[in-house]
Structure 1
Amino acid sequence: MEQTGDTLFATGRGEDAVRLFLDVTTRYPDDWRLAVTAAAIILRHSSAYDLVEAFLRPVLHRLPNTVPAWALLLHVRVVRGDLAGSRALFAELLGRYSDESGTLCDAMSTALLQAGHPAESLRILLPCLENDIVTPTLLKNMGIALFCLDRSAEAVSWYEKAEALAPTDYGITFGHACALIKAGRLDEGWPRYFNRHLTPDDKDAWYLSLPRLCPGDAVAGRGVVLFQEQGLGDTIQFIRFVPDLLAKGAHVTIVVPRPLVRLLAQSYPAAKVCETGTLARQNGYDYAAAIPDLPHIAGATSLWDVPAPIPYLHPDPDDIARFAALLPERRPRIGLVWAGEWRPQSIHALVDQRRSTTLATMATALTPVAATLVSLQLGAPRQEIADWTGQTLCDPMGSVHDMADTAAIMASLDLVISVDTSPLHLAGALGCPVWMISRQDACWRWGDAIGRSPWYPTMRIFRSREPTLAPILKEAGMALRTWARNWRPARKT
Structure 2
Amino acid sequence: MKSNTQDISNGDSTKSDWLTNLPDNGRRSFEEAVRNHSAGKYDEALNFYAMALSYAPDEPVILSNIGVLLRSQGKFKASEECYRRALAIDPESPGCWTNLGNVLRRLGKLKEAVYCHRKAFKIDKGFIDAYYNLALVLQDMGKLDESIKIFDFCLKAKPGDPRINWDKALALLSQGDFVHGFEGYEYRWHRDELRVRHFKQPLWDGSPLNGESILLYSEQGFGDTLHLCRYVSEVAKVGGKVILECQTELVSLLKGLDGLDKIVSAGDKLPEFDVQAPLLSLPLIFKHEISSIPSDCPYINPPADAGFPVHVPPGTTYKVGIVWAGKPTHKNDHNRSVSVENFFVFSRLPGVMLYSLQKGAPSIQRDESACGFLVRDLASGCNDFADTAKVMKQLDLVITIDTSVAHLAGALGIPVFVALPYNPDWRWMRERSDSPWYPSMTLFRQQDPGDWDQVFNEMLSVLTMKVSE
1:106 paired with 2:98, answer: yes
Match of 1:408 among 386, 390, 393: 390
How much has 1:95 moved relative to structure 2? 3.6
Mapped partners of 1:91, 1:202: distance in 2: 35
1:383 paired with 2:364, answer: yes
Structure-2 change in CA distance of 1:393 and 1:261 (3 Å): same
Mapped partners of 1:193, 1:187: distance in 2: 10
Structure-2 change in CA distance of 1:223 and 1:112 (3 Å): farther
Larger relative contact order (CA 8 Å, sep ≥ 6) = 1
Q: Retained in 1: the 8 A contact 2:76–2:106? A: no
1:54 paired with 2:47, answer: yes
Mapped partners of 1:202, 1:136: distance in 2: 26
Structure-2 change in CA distance of 1:117 and 1:306 (3 Å): farther
Mapped partners of 1:177, 1:211: distance in 2: 24
Match of 2:343 in 1: 363
Amino acid of the structure 1 residue aligned with 2:420: S
SS at match of 1:323: coil
Structure-2 change in CA distance of 1:37 and 1:368 (3 Å): farther
How many residue pairs align between the two structures?
440
Mapped partners of 1:397, 1:145: distance in 2: 37
Q: Retained in 2: the 8 A contact 1:223–1:285? A: yes
Instruction: Tell me the alpha carbon deviations over residues 173-207 of structure 1, each in whole angstroms, 9 at most, x when there is no partner.
Output: 110111111112222111111233167999586x6
Q: TM-score, normalised by structure 2?
A: 0.85
Match of 1:262 in 2: 252
Match of 1:30 among 28, 31, 53: 28
Match of 2:75 among 74, 80, 83: 80
Instruction: Tell me the alpha carbon deviations over residues 33-87 of structure 1, each in whole angstroms, 9 at most, x when there is no partner.
Output: 45235336649xxxx8x676435322333455664542243356675353xx766
1:299 paired with 2:291, answer: no
Question: Within 5 Å, which residues of 2 pair with 1:148-159?
Answer: 148-159=140-151
Question: Within 5 Å, which residues of 2 pair with 1:103-182?
Answer: 103-182=95-174
How much has 1:484 moved relative to structure 2? 4.6
Q: Retained in 2: the 8 A contact 1:199–1:230? A: no
Structure-2 change in CA distance of 1:399 and 1:226 (3 Å): same
Instruction: Tell me the alpha carbon deviations over residues 381-419 of structure 1, each in whole angstroms, 9 at most, x when there is no partner.
Output: 111111233452111212211111111111011111111
SS at match of 1:452: coil
Mapped partners of 2:119, 2:301: distance in 1: 53
Match of 2:465 in 1: 483
Q: Retained in 2: the 8 A contact 1:36–1:69? A: no
Unpaired runs of 5+ residues, structure 2, are 1-24
1:449 paired with 2:412, answer: no
Q: Retained in 1: the 8 A contact 2:141–2:423? A: yes
Structure-2 change in CA distance of 1:91 and 1:202 (3 Å): closer
Amino acid of the structure 1 residue aligned with 2:368: D
Q: Retained in 2: the 8 A contact 1:199–1:229? A: no
Mapped partners of 1:278, 1:296: distance in 2: 27
How much has 1:255 moved relative to structure 2? 0.8
Unpaired runs of 5+ residues, structure 1, are 1-26, 488-493
Match of 2:238 in 1: 248
Match of 2:274 among 286, 290, 294: 286
Q: TM-score, normalised by structure 1?
A: 0.81
Mapped partners of 1:138, 1:124: distance in 2: 9
Q: Retained in 2: the 8 A contact 1:453–1:460? A: yes
Match of 1:236 among 200, 216, 226: 226
Structure-2 change in CA distance of 1:183 and 1:414 (3 Å): same
How much has 1:480 moved relative to structure 2? 4.7
Match of 2:319 in 1: 333
1:96 paired with 2:77, answer: no
Instruction: Tell me the alpha carbon deviations over residues 72-128 of structure 1, each in whole angstroms, 9 at most, x when there is no partner.
Output: 43356675353xx766654442242244x2111221122223343333211222333
Q: Retained in 2: the 8 A contact 1:326–1:396? A: no
Amino acid of the structure 2 residue aligned with 1:188: H
Mapped partners of 1:410, 1:29: distance in 2: 62
Q: Retained in 2: the 8 A contact 1:178–1:444? A: yes
Q: Retained in 2: the 8 A contact 1:225–1:289? A: yes
Match of 2:420 in 1: 438
Amino acid of the structure 1 residue aligned with 2:86: L
The structure with the largest helix share of the pair is 1
